[in-house]
Amino acid sequence: MTSQNKMNLLKALFGSISVFMIYLVIVTSMKSNMFQLPAAVLHEPWFTTTLVDFYFNILIISCWVIFREKALGVSILWIIAFICLGSIATAFYVLIQLMGLKEGEGLEKVFSRKVI
């Protein structure tokens, strides 16, 4: 598999994740109001564990974005998006980084600090 094919596969993957999660959030919000969760759900150990897991992931991704982005304001906006939108924003961020690569640039460019 060529480097360009791998890049196209990654773009399709992260684009698909964003679209699917948008669909899932819309469908779920039509079935259930997240602000009216039954008390039993709030006391479920997996609910707490899932929240802690989510926010640790946000912390990890936020550290990467702060390292990567040149402007602190841009980093803060992305972190707010990660907190509010979860994997929708995360996958979209990665997709934008992949789409910004020029011909011949590899993934190492995505994982390095932006210079300009």
Per-residue pLDDT of the chain (116 residues; tens, 9 = 90+): 788 888 899 999 999 999 999 999 999 989 988 788 788 888 889 988 999 999 999 999 999 999 999 999 999 999 999 999 999 999 999 999 999 888 888 888 887 887 66
What lies within 8 Å, CB to CB, of 41 at 6+ separation is 47
DSSP conformational letter for 102: P
What lies within 8 Å, CB to CB, of 110 at 6+ separation is 94, 97, 98, 101
pTM of the model: 0.81
Query: What's the pLDDT score for residue 74?
Result: 96
Instruction: Spell out where the chain has E strands.
Output: none
**Cα distance between residue 109 and residue 98, in whole Å:** 9
